[in-house]
């Protein structure tokens, strides 16, 4: 059996650390590359090798890509709200950093890439379900950087798949414990719902959106299902670049996430209505037909499982 070494950039972050563990469980050798700016050293699978380095350091990337069979690229700045405050930082790290990674891959002769793209590339959609052919018109700098990276990958000669994630949630249970989202400054909905208290109620960002209950609608997908899509993608890389949505194909409003969480917790969640957040589109829901056709993938875990797993990981 030929063991292949996979470079996992951002492998100390929420999604990347789950990927590293699942890849190792599938028999791959994993090298994690992360600058620990938002990730956690203790989230890195103990069976993985680790280089502490930045995407802005080309020589560190050249070293990291040596003898790798493929790269899974998760590293980058990933917050919609922050990107509207710091657009230059997002361009530098996401676009400049990925340009460095592609240059390093070229110099090391690595031709296979799975990239974390985003639903934020689409912007405010024109149709109910977003397909990969839907027009790309990001409403925030974060989405703009992910779109430009997808274009950069298309222009390269790499065998690549960009997975356009919708809203990732949930956690992975391992023998060492749970791997879950642990951001110092948490902005994501489900973690914030679960930690809301009477003194610190969940802020609902906008109750006057053009949606059935006035709150934003998103498509939530379990991190374990998401990483399963990456593993399938690794096997489906062809000589060109494919872009594939990864979501559940269903929309849930902020209020629906709150009521699903109340059922999981068996108690009320304190909330307060707040103004709209900059850069948010009203509704983002994926068509996942292409993921089913090309990858043979379908999500297996529902919103309740995402909430319950995140809750179990926090205990
Ligand atoms: N929200 C609240 N209160 C909070 C946090 C979030 O009302 O305390 C709302 C947001 O306004 C939004 C929804 O909950 O309507 C989901 O917000 P998240 O911050 O959890 O997720 P986003 O939709 O902003 O962004 C996430 C990822 C991005 C990715 C995007 C794709 O962070 O990387 O999904 O849809 F691009």
Tens digit of pLDDT at every position of the chain (315 positions):
456 999 999 999 999 999 999 999 999 999 999 999 999 999 999 999 999 999 999 999 999 999 999 999 999 999 988 999 999 999 999 999 999 999 999 999 999 999 999 999 998 888 889 999 999 999 999 999 999 999 999 999 899 999 999 999 999 999 889 999 988 888 999 999 999 999 999 999 999 999 999 999 999 999 999 999 999 999 999 889 999 999 999 999 999 999 999 999 999 999 999 999 987 889 999 999 999 999 999 999 999 999 999 999 998
Ligand 1 atom nearest to 78, measured from its CA: 33
Q: Which pair of structure tokens corresponds to residue 176?
A: 């060492």
* Closest CA to ligand 1's atom 6: 189
* Closest CA to ligand 1's atom 27: 167
* Closest CA to ligand 1's atom 16: 189
Return the biggest CA–CA distance within the chain: 57
pLDDT for the residue numbered 1: 43
CA of 44 relative to ligand 1 center, distance in Å: 25
Q: Check if 14 is active-site.
A: no
Comparing CA positions, the residue from 68, 53, 165, 78 lying closest to residue 107 is 68
**Cβ atoms of 4 and 32 closer than 8 Å:** no
Q: Model pTM?
A: 0.96
pLDDT for the residue numbered 183: 82
Residue with tokens 């560190």: 60
CA of 270 relative to ligand 1 center, distance in Å: 18
Phi then psi for residue 159, to 5 deg, are -85, 105
* 14, 90, 122, 142: the active-site residue: 142
pLDDT for the residue numbered 3: 65
Q: Does ligand 1 lie within 6 Å of residue 277's CB atom?
A: yes
Q: List pLDDT tens digits, range 36-66.
A: 999 999 999 999 999 999 999 999 999 999 9
pLDDT for the residue numbered 315: 83
C-alpha distance from residue 77 to each of 123, 131, 209, 295 (Å): 18, 24, 27, 27
């Amino acid at each position: 059996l030929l063991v292949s070494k996979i470079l996992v950039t951002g492998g100390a972050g929420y999604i990347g650390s789950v990927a590293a563990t699942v890849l190792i469980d599938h028999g791959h050798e994993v090298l994690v590359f992360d600058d620990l700016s938002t990730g956690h050293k203790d989230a890195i699978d103990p069976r993985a090798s680790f280089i502490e380095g930045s995407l802005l350091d080309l020589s560190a990337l050249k070293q990291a890509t040596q003898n790798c069979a493929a790269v899974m690229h998760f590293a980058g700045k990933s917050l919609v709200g922050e990107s509207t405050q710091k657009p230059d930082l997002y361009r530098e790290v996401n676009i400049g950093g990925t340009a460095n990674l592609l240059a390093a891959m070229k110099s090391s002769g690595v031709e296979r890439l799975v990239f974390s793209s985003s639903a934020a590339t689409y912007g405010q959609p024109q149709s109910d379900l977003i397909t990969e052919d839907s027009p790309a018109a990001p409403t925030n700098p974060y989405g703009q950087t992910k779109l430009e990276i997808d274009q950069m990958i298309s222009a390269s000669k790499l065998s690549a798949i960009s997975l356009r994630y919708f809203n990732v949630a949930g956690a992975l249970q391992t023998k060492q414990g749970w791997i879950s989202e642990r951001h110092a400054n948490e902005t994501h909905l489900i973690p914030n719902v679960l930690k809301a208290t009477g003194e610190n109620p969940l802020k609902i960002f906008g109750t006057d959106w053009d949606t059935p209950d006035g709150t934003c609608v998103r498509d939530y997908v379990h991190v374990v299902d998401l990483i399963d899509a990456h593993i399938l993608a690794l096997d489906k890389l062809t000589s060109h670049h494919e872009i594939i949505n990864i979501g559940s194909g269903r929309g849930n409003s902020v209020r629906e996430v709150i009521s699903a969480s109340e059922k999981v917790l068996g108690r009320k969640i304190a909330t307060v209505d707040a103004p709209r957040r900059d850069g948010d589109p009203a509704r983002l829901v994926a068509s996942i037909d292409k993921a089913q056709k090309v990858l043979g993938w379908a999500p297996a875990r529902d919103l309740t499982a995402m909430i319950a797993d995140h809750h179990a990981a926090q205990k």
